[in-house]
Amino acid sequence: MIRFTRRLDTPAPPTHTLTLTLEQRVRSRLRVTLDDGSPAGLFMERGHILRDGDCIAGDDGVVAEVRAAAETVSTARCDDPLHLARACYHLGNRHVPLQIGPGLVRYRHDHVLDAMVRGLGLSVTVEREPFEPEWGAYSDAQTQGDAHGHHYPV
């Protein structure tokens, strides 16, 4: 079994790919199957979140590129920045992880949240897409943490 132990700061040419859901990408210890069917394990430093495109390496020099798996998400779209900001505010007030992009906000599918967002004037589509939420104002690009360095899973 291949053992991946670290995230590379500088991408290296990958020899494998590994497709993971968000829930899997926040875990530091996990048995996985590479996209080619090979068994592997993650033994990563705690508190780091793997992002789509990250390269991870094992002590034996094997490198894999992480890919974000398609997941069931709700994507809300709106051309009005005020309506979009209002939807983000209300979703964030419920501590919902959000992926925010030009004219859209994406979150894990929930029919109750979909109804709320539609009520705020946005159109909502349920889709299968990679989910890459924002990590928080007090965290770096790889961790979700508070101002004191505590790290929390999404």
Ordered by where they begin, the domains of the chain are 2-68 (2.60.260.20), 70-130 (3.30.70.790)
Is the whole-model pTM more than 0.75?
yes
**Whole-angstrom Cα distance, residue 60 to residue 2?**
8
How many residues appear in the chain?
Answer: 154
The token pair that represents 80 in the structure block: 């009005």
Work out whether the CA dihedral 85, 73, 129, 39 comes out positive or negative: positive
Interval 90-137: pLDDT, tens: 999 999 999 999 999 999 999 999 999 999 999 999 999 999 999 866
Question: Could you tell me which residues come within 8 angstroms of residue 129 by beta carbon, excluding any fewer than 6 positions away?
Answer: 70, 71, 73, 75, 106
Counting beta carbons within 10 angstroms of the beta carbon of residue 102, is it exposed (0 to 12), middle (13 to 18) or buried (19 or more)? exposed
